[in-house]
Amino acid sequence: DGAKTYKVTLPKGVPAKDFWSLVAYDTQTRSELQTPDQAFPSINSKVAKLNYNKDGSVDIYFGPKAPKGFEQNWIQTLPNKSWFVAIRFYGPLKPFYDKTWKPGEIELIK
């Protein structure tokens, strides 16, 4: 539900040699969401100046409005539009293949 706000936590040490990205897609068109405030509904670790948690993990938010203080960790969604997210690893490392690193679950923010 694009009207609600969600969060996913990526634990420290995302297993990507080059960089990683998260992209929001429209469930009907299977193309990137078309949003008014973001030309590309995505975040990548190479370009974004993300706010990391003290333990080295990073929280990424999805919702129609950016949570205050986490604008750079936000991907916009649209009310009345369903979406899904893909995580990509560029230069995936061993913890990706042996599944010792896993992203958190996508959680609804209340």
Query: Per the domain annotation, does 31 fall within a domain?
Result: yes
37-72 pLDDT tens trace: 999 999 999 987 999 999 999 999 999 999 999 999
Classify residue 11 as exposed, middle or buried by CB count within 10 Å of its CB (0-12, 13-18, 19+): middle
Number of domains into which the chain is organized: 1
* 57: containing domain: 6-108
CATH, residue 54: 2.60.120.600
Query: Per the domain annotation, does 17 fall within a domain?
Result: yes
In the predicted model, what is the mean pLDDT of the chain?
96
Query: Per the domain annotation, does 51 fall within a domain?
Result: yes
Confidence tier at 79 by pLDDT (50, 70, 90) = very high
Give the global pTM.
Answer: 0.93
Query: Per the domain annotation, does 1 fall within a domain?
Result: no
